[in-house]
Amino acid sequence: MNQSEAKKRIEELKHQLNKFDHYYYDKALPLITDYEYDELYNELKSIENTFPLLITEDSPTQRVLENTITGFNKIKHNPKMYSLENTYSDNELSNFLKRIKKDTNKINEFIIEPKIDGVAVSIIYENGVFKKAISRGNGITGDDITNNIKTIEELPLVLEGELTGELIVRGEVFFTKETFKELAETYGFSNARNAASGTLKLLNSREAAKRHLSIRIHTVITGLADTDNEILNKLKQMKLPVIEMTKIVNSAENVIKTKDIWKEKRFELPYETDGIVIKLNKLSMRKKIGYTNKSPKWAFAFKYKPENAITKISSVDFQIGRTGVITPVANLEPVQLSGTIVKRATIHNFDEIKRLDIQINDFVEVEKSGEIIPKIIKVIKEKRNGDNTFKIKKPKICPSCRSELIHYNDEVALRCINVNCPARIEGNISHFVSKTGMNIENVGPALIKQLLNENIISSMSDLYKLEIETILPVERMAEKSAENVINSINASKDVPLHRFIYALGIRNVGEYLANILADTYKSIDKLMDAKYDEMMKINGIGDEVAQSVIMFFKNEKNREEIENLLKNGVNPILQIKRNILEEKKFVITGHLDEFTRDSVKRSIIENGGIVLNTISKETDFLIAGENSGSKIKKAEKMNVKIISEKEYLQMLEK
């Protein structure tokens, strides 16, 4: 390749990569896989290394990406946030290790850690107290995402130990595999990293809190010790969440061995990883080697190639999750992938079908990067042959219960909202009988499953038709146990209205909002006939909640089920709320003797108080039980009154 050809190819690659960056960072919509992107990026880097005079400041190889967000204050990083050089090549990894040895003139100790597929953030503590959080942005300036980061339950707002001055830590924000599985069903997300990035960009931190982000810290800017390993141990003592499975190795050979072992071992972690990070352990050596304009020279990321295969889509099923979300699942011609025969692949949602232009009979590329179910990443359109493919039609009725499907304005997901849909019923009944719902003791998940499998019940209201003789034939059901079950069901009939509303499982309606709806409408009949406009006038109710409630009660099968519950003796009663606590704001910490965490929250709400998750200047009381954590220190610093469980009970007696 001569210089003229190189210049032309560089411009082509820059144009492509800038386009992919725009969709990935601005729209959270990846047009190609990470592996395909990295291949193009590495091609550009290779050409630029051969023709260094063609490198320009606007090249993707010269800048840290991730745009700042409209609506957030901009903050300058001090120091700059760098990104890691990465490779899929054993050769390049070996070259990095040789360069380290040459630059330091010695055999070095390395620390190896999993490379979390998350979103980089910088967090600042002042005298041990959380001060602010900043997104990576362009590496020089990021967004003030303090309120959204504060919703991460694992992250302490006050650190353990006597700390003075400023402490800057950096880490990765992500969703655990379990959390993302639930979110994908609820919101129709298809990519965990993009979902985490999108959550940090939400202007409403309450919505961010609902999604339960996680974080792991991997870097400290402020000096705490001589080695990375010692620093991580100090962070643990401060109760900061640090990356698991770090390993110290003292040779290039052991780096390679660890890299090969962790190719499979990384799947044991609760979050997605796409490789490993290799860093010099000694900070003095890092200082000696330094940085390029974009990356530290003392660290390197090795990424594992995802395993792919090409096969054909024979048909598409529509799977209904517990929350009613319809997920398209492709049935494939069997293909070998990651040591197993793959016959199905998730398509996540209907926007994904449109984006990839997936059709029945298409040949597709499927990828498996540790997930249980592989995903379709590309359609091989060159293999289409005339009219042999067929469009995938979005269903209008639920394939399980034949109810009309609905589509909320704020999400891509298509939903069945019939509470008695057979595909949803087990999860719905479990929610219905829970302590915070109808509080039906002796009816747990195992019994619910048995009753459904044996066709003894098919709805929530069927529970109230049960008799001792009906359930005695159930496996391991003795007469005394059957009596206890029936007594528990009968005892639940007189139920506070707010708990009945919560038990119905209306999307976006938790305990707190169920209380507000009960106080406003006074009866289930009036709530069922509520109008959107009047609901929007209620303090604490927004468009998302109002829409969910109206759509839920508009569904004829839901109304029919509520009528059946009432006919079978369920009696939702409006509890007259005592206003003893007069909207005082409470935070709870530690272990309580008289209350569970849920029951003390209910007690506060039922007596006119408000429950907060974190301490702020607005907080009136911190109820502190045994083994209270860092919230005590924060309350003291903010002059929030700290009371015991006994003192809280005395407040209720006044």
Three-class SS state of 145: coil
Question: Strands 86-87 and 299-303: what pairing?
Answer: parallel
d(C-alpha 254, C-alpha 432), whole Å: 54
The set of residues, in sequence order, having a beta carbon less than 8 Å from that of 283 and lying 6+ positions away, is 223, 225, 226, 227, 228
Residue 369 has pLDDT above 70, yes or no: no
Contact in structure between 121 and 145 (CB atoms under 8 Å): yes
152 lies in some domain: yes
Confidence of residue 487 (pLDDT cuts 50, 70, 90): very high
- Predicted pLDDT at 72: 79
Confidence of residue 575 (pLDDT cuts 50, 70, 90): confident
pLDDT digits (tens, 9 = 90+) for 591-647: 887 777 767 877 887 787 888 877 888 899 999 987 777 788 888 888 999 999 989
As a whole number, mean pLDDT of residues 528-556 equals: 88
Among 101, 115, 210, 631, the one annotated catalytic:
115
Does 453 share its domain with 562? yes
**Counted domains in the chain:** 5
Does 183 share its domain with 264? yes
Clarify whether 115 is annotated catalytic.
yes
Contact in structure between 94 and 253 (CB atoms under 8 Å): no
d(C-alpha 485, C-alpha 482), whole Å: 5
**Domain final position from 303, 334, 358:** 303
pLDDT exceeding 70 applies to what percent of the chain?
Answer: 94
397 lies in some domain: no
- Predicted pLDDT at 30: 64
Instruction: Examine residue 79 and say whether the peptide bond preceding it is cis (omega within 30 degrees of 0).
Output: yes
Nearest CA among 62, 114, 34, 121 for reference residue 301 = 114
Does 42 share its domain with 161? no
Nearest CA among 121, 96, 92, 122 for reference residue 108 = 96
Does 299 share its domain with 322? no
Token digits for 147? 């309120």
The set of residues, in sequence order, having a beta carbon less than 8 Å from that of 56 and lying 6+ positions away, is 62
Does 296 share its domain with 326? no
409 lies in some domain: no
**Domain final position from 552, 573, 594:** 573
Q: Which domain holds residue 605?
A: 585-653
Contact in structure between 248 and 110 (CB atoms under 8 Å): yes
pLDDT digits (tens, 9 = 90+) for 231-260: 999 999 999 999 888 999 998 899 999 999
pLDDT digits (tens, 9 = 90+) for 585-605: 898 888 887 777 767 877 887
Does 551 share its domain with 637? no
Residue 230 has pLDDT above 90, yes or no: yes
Contact in structure between 220 and 168 (CB atoms under 8 Å): yes
**Average predicted confidence (pLDDT) for the chain:** 86
Nearest CA among 135, 216, 233 for reference residue 176 = 216
Buried b (16+ CB within 10 A) or exposed e, 80-94: ebbbbbbbbeeeebe
pLDDT exceeding 90 applies to what percent of the chain?
Answer: 38
d(C-alpha 240, C-alpha 225), whole Å: 16
Does 286 share its domain with 176? yes
Contact in structure between 312 and 385 (CB atoms under 8 Å): no
The set of residues, in sequence order, having a beta carbon less than 8 Å from that of 577 and lying 6+ positions away, is 519, 606, 607, 608
Global pTM value: 0.58
**Domain final position from 573, 604, 621:** 573
